[in-house]
Amino acid sequence: MSFWNSIWDIFWWTIWIFAFITYIWAVIAIISDLFRDHTLAGGWKAVWIIFLIFVPFLTVLIYLIARGRGMAERAQKDAIAAQQATDEYIRQTAGTSASASDEIAKAKALLDAGTITQQEYDLLKAKALAHTA
């Protein structure tokens, strides 16, 4: 066996491995999409799964052609929902931050009530103004 034959063998093995991994990824994406689709009845989901088992390559091709657009829409909808949940969690965890004027107003109310001294008020005011800068 010559050097060039072994190079071509490596090349073709690489192509076949890539195609196989791509196929496995497509099957997993299709199965997850079937379970994500709430508009498709359970019987039809079972039919798609059975066809994926017995006629795999043709079923993947037909599924991607027939339901590919809906598959993309469901994935986008889930991504948006996940982003909104993350944003809500961040907002909830971070809490609402008061503006500098709100903090100064609260400190002024404490000063007027006699709860804090003028020096403490000045310190709180300086901190509030430093956070906005």
pLDDT band at 87 (very low <50, low <70, confident <90, very high): confident
The structural domains of the chain, with segments of one domain joined by +, span 3-96, 98-133
pLDDT band at 26 (very low <50, low <70, confident <90, very high): very high
Distance CA 113, CA 108 (A): 8
Cα angle vertex 12, ends 8, 15, to 5°? Answer: 140
- Given a cut of 90, is residue 132 above it in pLDDT? no
Summarised one tens digit per residue, pLDDT across range 104-130 is 888 899 999 888 999 999 998 888 888
| pTM of the predicted structure, to 2 decimals | 0.57
Summarised one tens digit per residue, pLDDT across range 51-72 is 999 999 999 999 999 998 888 8
Distance CA 100, CA 97 (A): 9
Say which amino acid occupies 33: D
Cβ atoms of 107 and 116 within 8 Å: the answer is yes
φ/ψ of residue 115, rounded to 5: -75, -35
